[in-house]
A and B are shown apart, each in its own frame.
Chain A
Amino acid sequence: AQSVAQPEDQVNVAEGNPLTVKCTYSVSGNPYLFWYVQYPNRGLQFLLKYITGDNLVKGSYGFEAEFNKSQTSFHLKKPSALVSDSALYFCAVRDRGSARQLTFGSGTQLTVLP
């Protein structure tokens, strides 16, 4: 079985401050991990992914995420938040050794306050 948890429904951060959006996962084997962002009235857009190799993954718009196998986490981070980063963020996981498709988290609404 595979699952993903985003423990915070809502994250508020002041513009210019660092932001973190949390994600933990559960898979039987090794994971493929993804982050997507959804702006209002739009479809989801790919931000970054972890497949293998370096645990720190850099993606679009200055975002990065760190794969931590021991803590089964893949938290999304950005050093300095922008008001335009305000959106709904989804973490997703797939077990490499499984035929199961991608499983999405419930989403975290990020609000960056000016």
Chain B
Amino acid sequence: EAQVTQNPRYLITVTGKKLTVTCSQNMNHEYMSWYRQDPGLGLRQIYYSMNVEVTDKGDVPEGYKVSRKEKRNFPLILESPSPNQTSLYFCASRMTGNTGELFFGEGSRLTVL
């Protein structure tokens, strides 16, 4: 089954404790992206990757890091989480090109105390 898998689905952590949210897709997609969803703000892009070893900032990259060492994986790293990073995070992937639709993971709800 074609899917995007995120882990963990739910996480409560404390300020400053480094964490990683993993994302893996099995569709051989070149493009992958991370979004955060906040009430009234819709989805905002954090980082994206056009292919292996190629990453770019989205609209809200501050406080986040990513890496793309393999085509299927695109982890999101919070080096020193803060309460304003409490949010619902989505990983998504698609084929190369500007017209393809995104395939989303189920989401990771992060709470930073």
Contact = CB atoms under 8 A, between A and B. Distances in A.
Interface string B22-54: 000000000001010000111111001000000
Contacts, number: 49
Contacts of A43: 4, 90, 92, 104-107
Given A42-B107, A43-B4, A43-B104, A105 B98 contact: no
Main secondary structure on B side of the interface with A = strand
Contacts of A107: 42
A101 to B, nearest CB: 6
Contact of B106 (A6, A42, A49, A105): A42
Q: Place the interface of chain B in its size category.
A: 20 to 34
Contacts of A34: 101
A105 B42 contact: yes
Interface residues of A, number: 22
Main secondary structure on A side of the interface with B = loop
Interface string A27-42: 0000010101000011
Q: Which 10 A-B pairs have the closest CB atoms?
A: A43-B104, A46-B101, A104-B43, A106-B42, A104-B42, A44-B104, A43-B106, A51-B99, A43-B105, A107-B42
